[in-house]
Structure 1
Amino acid sequence: MKHAVILAHPKPTSFGAAMARACVDHLSAHGHEVVLRDLYAMDFDPRLKAEEMPTGQGATPAADVLAERALLKDVKSLIFVYPFWFNAPPAILKGYVDRVFGMGFGYASINGRMEALLDGVTLTSFSTSGAPGRWVNSTGALKALMAVFDLHLCGVCGLRLLDHAHFGDVVSNMTEEWGEDILGQVRDKLNDLFELTSGSET
């Protein structure tokens, strides 16, 4: 299986980056093909341009979008890794979805009807927040985000949502033990979702 790990965090030394690397390393160790798309390192432009917007005649993606779609065309698993900012993904990830997963890749308009184009592709999300996980759940923040982001994206594009695992209390002075525990949970989740054997551990 080929996976694309999409990281949306501006700091290469962030815990989010460590989570993304854990995903790449763990899946690779089990013989899966993985590509990492570090949106900030790529300096990805999240702004959907007027000329890219769909019209009655279709859509005209920019060159960077075409290149990204070509890279993702045979991916069967998307893994988003990002922090909660104001209980939402960073703008760069929203813009990545707006531009890359738009008409002609995520969906098509056929005889006036929308048709999903990514059936058979799965979506998994790993998100973090400085707030405790129990607060994110009790306030409905995670549920609300999943409704407008995960589930809507899946509904439009035909993706199958595998899971959205959120980890709270991710702060700059978090203990090494807490960080290792979270990374272990990430690996365990990957084992469960993709039926990885325990023979090759990272």
Structure 2
Amino acid sequence: MKHALIIGHPDAEGFTQSVAAAYAQTVQGLGHQTVIRDLYRLEFDPRLQSQERSDRPGYAPASDVVVERQAIGDADVFAFFYPLWFNMPPAIIKGYVDRVFGAGFGYRALHAGGMDPLLKGRSMITFTSSGSSRAWLEEQGCWLSLRNLFDDYLARLCGMTVVDHVHFPSITAGLDKRWVDENLAATVRRAKEAFGGGSEGH
């Protein structure tokens, strides 16, 4: 099994990177493969250009999108790691989805209308964090909106199965190491629960 880790945080070191590293080490320990797409370190451009839109004459994916699709195209699991900003995914994550998971990779537009999912049989798991509490996110309607508009819709459009969305609340600067360690342990535990069922790497 191969996991594509898609990481969207400007800090090269920090909580989001630590969660991604814990996840990678865990699934590698299960015999799985990983490919890391650390979007800020890759200097990925999230801006969808006009010629990249599949409804435009001469449509073609840009060269950097081709590289990304080749890197993650054979992944069995797409694992997203990012903080919530304004209670939404960062622009670099949304732009990666817009450009990489668009027509020709995540789905194919049908002549009769509708979409044909191209990632059937694949899985999606997400790990996020925010400075606010989970209760506050739910009270504001942000949690349900995020799950409906990003996780569930993206998975449905592309034919993927949502394994889980693990959220770590109250993550702020100077967070106590004990709390960090507890969250990393939860990451390891969830990865083992989700993918430790005897799957063989390939």
In the superposition, the TM-score normalised over structure 2's length comes to 0.93
Structure 1: how far apart are the matches of 2:155 and 2:59? Answer: 20
Match of 2:30 in 1: 30
In structure 2, the residue matched to 1:21 is: 21
Looking at structure 1, the residues matched to 195 and 3 of structure 2 have their Cα atoms a distance apart, in angstroms, of: 11
Where does residue 167 of structure 2 map in the other structure? 166
Contact 1:106 1:117 in 2 (8 A): yes
SS of equivalent to 1:182? helix
Q: Which residue of 2 aligns with 1:66?
A: 66
Q: What percent identity do the matched residue pairs reach?
A: 39
Structure 1 segments of 4+ aligned residues over 4 angstroms from their partners: none
In structure 1, the residue corresponding to 2:80 is in which secondary structure? strand
Cα offset, 1:135, TM superposition: 1.8
Contact 1:130/1:168 (<8 A) preserved: yes
Equivalent position amino acid for 1:126 in 2: F
Matches of 1:161 and 1:58 in 2, distance apart? 34
Offset at residue 132 of structure 1 (A): 1.6
- Match of residue 79 from structure 2: 79
1:155 CA displacement = 1.3
C-alpha change, 1:121 and 1:58, in structure 2 (3 Å) is farther
Residue 90 (str. 1) matches residue 90 (str. 2) = yes
Q: What per-residue deviation string (whole Å, max 9, x for no partner) do you get for residues 4-53 of structure 1?
A: 11110000112001111111111112211011110000000000001111
SS at match of 1:94: helix
C-alpha distance in structure 2 between counterparts of 1:93 and 1:8, whole Å: 6
1:1-202 → structure 2 map (5 Å cutoff)? 1-55=1-55, 59-113=59-113, 114-195=115-196
Q: Which consecutive residues of structure 2, in runs of 5 or more, have no partner in the other structure?
A: none
Deviates more, 1:104-113 or 1:162-171: 104-113
Give deviations 1:52-71, integer Å, cap 9, x for gaps.
Answer: 11126684100110111111
Q: Which amino acid aligns with 1:132?
A: S
Query: For residues 104 and 58 of structure 1, do their structure 2 counterparts lie closer, same or farther at Cα, with a shift above 3 Å needed?
Result: farther
Question: One-letter code of the match for 1:118?
Answer: L
Using CA pairs under 8 Å that are at least 6 residues apart, name the structure with larger relative contact order, 1 or 2. 2
CA distance in 1, matches of 2:78, 2:88: 18
How many Å separate the matches in 2 of 1:30 and 1:137? 34
SS at match of 2:10: coil
Note the alpha carbon deviations across 1:59-107, whole angstroms, 9 max, x for none: 4100110111111111000110000000000000000000000000000
Asked if 1 retains the 8 angstrom alpha-carbon contact of 2:119 and 2:158, the reply is yes
Q: Tell whether the 8 Å contact from 1:59 to 1:103 is kept in structure 2 after alignment.
A: no
Give the direction of change, closer, same or farther, for the CA distance of 1:173–1:196 in structure 2 (3 Å limit). Answer: farther
Contact 1:59-1:104 at 8 Å conserved across structures: no
1:136 Cα deviation from its structure 2 partner: 1.9
For residue 200 of structure 1, what is the aligned residue in structure 2? none
SS for the counterpart of 1:103 is coil
TM-score normalised over the length of structure 1 = 0.93
Alignment-mate amino acid for residue 155 of structure 1: R
